Amino acid sequence: MDRLVIRWRIALLLIVLSAACGGDNGSGALGAPVANGAPSTAGISGGPATVPGSSVQPTLPAPAGSVSTVPPMAAAGRAAPTAPPPQAPSGAPLVTPPVPAAGSGVPPATPPAMTPPPASPPVGPPGTWPDADPSKMGPFTIVEEKNVGPGMAFTMYRPMMLTQKHPVITWGNGTGSSPQTYGVMLKLWASHGFIVIASNSPNVGQGSPPPMLDGVTWVLAQDMTDGVPLYQHVDRDRIGASGHSQGAFATTSAGSDPRIKTIAPIQTFGGSRGLHGPVLALCGGMDTLLSCDGNLTGFQSVKDFPAMYANLKAADHAAWSFSPGIPDFAVITNAWFRVHLMNDMANRPMFYGADCGFCKDDKWIIMRSMMDN
C-alpha cells in the first residue's frame, strides 16, 4: 500500500511539474510549444517567438533611437502586403510629400529636382544680338550682385546666363545716391545683355583711381580669371559709361580713358576732353540745379565724333528716377548703347539719318552733329 501511494504521489508530482514548465497542453496558455525539438524562448525578456506554420519571421526589438524599416506584422500565417507606390491621376502632377520633421521616426523623402534656370535667348555669331525694343525689358534674366569689385564697393547687374562676350557699361551715381536709386534703368540695360558695373560711392567724382574706371579694370580682370562667372564673357572692346549729376561729370572724365568707346552723361555733360567715341549729352528742361545751358555748351565742344544733345523738356533734376515705369532717360540710353556697343542696326535710325526717330518725338529737343548718315 505504501508503495502504491508513493507511485501515485510521484505521478501527480510529474504532472504538476510538467504543467509548470510549459508542457504542451494544446492551448499554449502556459507557454509557447516546442517546435521541431527546439526549446521555446517565450518568457525570456527580448527573445523572439516563432509561430508554427507562419511565414512571418520573428522581429527583434529595435535599439533605442533607431528608425525601424520593418513593416508591421501581418496576421498569423500571412505576410504583410506591400503597398504600391503612389500614382498621380492621369494628367496631374505628382505631388512630392513634405519632408518629415527631425526625430519623427520617418525617413526623409528624396527632395525634388531643382528647376533649371531659364534658357538664354538665341544669339547669332559673337558680337550679334537679338532684336529688342529698348523701351521694354530685354530677353535676358538678370542677377544683381551687391558688394563686389574693388573693396567690395560695387554693385553689378548682369545677365544670369552669359551667352557670349557681353559689352560693359560703367555707372556713376548722383551725389548722395546709390545704384539702387537708378535700379530700373540699370536692370533694363542688363536685361538687354549688358554687364553693368556700378560704384556704390555717393561721391563718384572723388577717388584715385576714379571709381568708374576702377570698376572697369575689375571687370576686365574677371574676364581673365578662370572659375568666375565673367570669365571669357566680357567684350573688352565695347565699353560705355553713363552717370547722373556728379556721376555725369565723372562720366565725362571717364570718357578720356581709351577703353571707353561711348558715353551718355545725364545732367550734365562737361565737354569733349579727349573723348574716344560718340556722345549722348542728356539734360532736363525743368532742371533748376543743372540747367541745359551747360549741356549745350559741352555738346558744341565735340568736333571729332558723332554727338547728340537731348533735352527732355518735362524732366527736373532727380524726380525722373523715381517715376513709375521705365524712365525716358533709361529708354534713350538703352537704345544708344545698343546701337554703339551692340551694333544694333534696327535701332540706329532712332539717332542717325534724316528720319531720326527721337528728333520727331515732341518730348525732346534734339540737336545733332556728324549724325546725318
Domain residue extents for the chain = 142-369
The position carrying cell 579727349 is 274
pLDDT value at 36 more than 60: no
Band of the pLDDT at 130, cuts 50, 70, 90?
confident
Whether the per-residue pLDDT at 22 is higher than 90: the answer is no
Is residue 46 predicted with pLDDT exceeding 80? no
CATH 3.40.50.1820 matches 142-369 = yes
Q: Rounded to an integer, what distance in angstroms lies between the CA atom of residue 296 and that of residue 290?
A: 12
CA angle 208–210–211, rounded 5-degree value: 115
For the chain, how long is the longest CA-to-CA vector? 148
Q: What is the average pLDDT across 98-103? A: 44
Say which residue, 288 or 1, is predicted with more confidence: 288
Kindly indicate the confidence band of residue 163, based on its pLDDT and cuts at 50, 70 and 90: confident
pLDDT of residue 110: 44
Q: What is the pLDDT of residue 126?
A: 73
Nearest to 140 by CA among 190, 198, 195: 190
How far is Cα 251 from Cα 260, in angstroms, rounded to an integer? 10
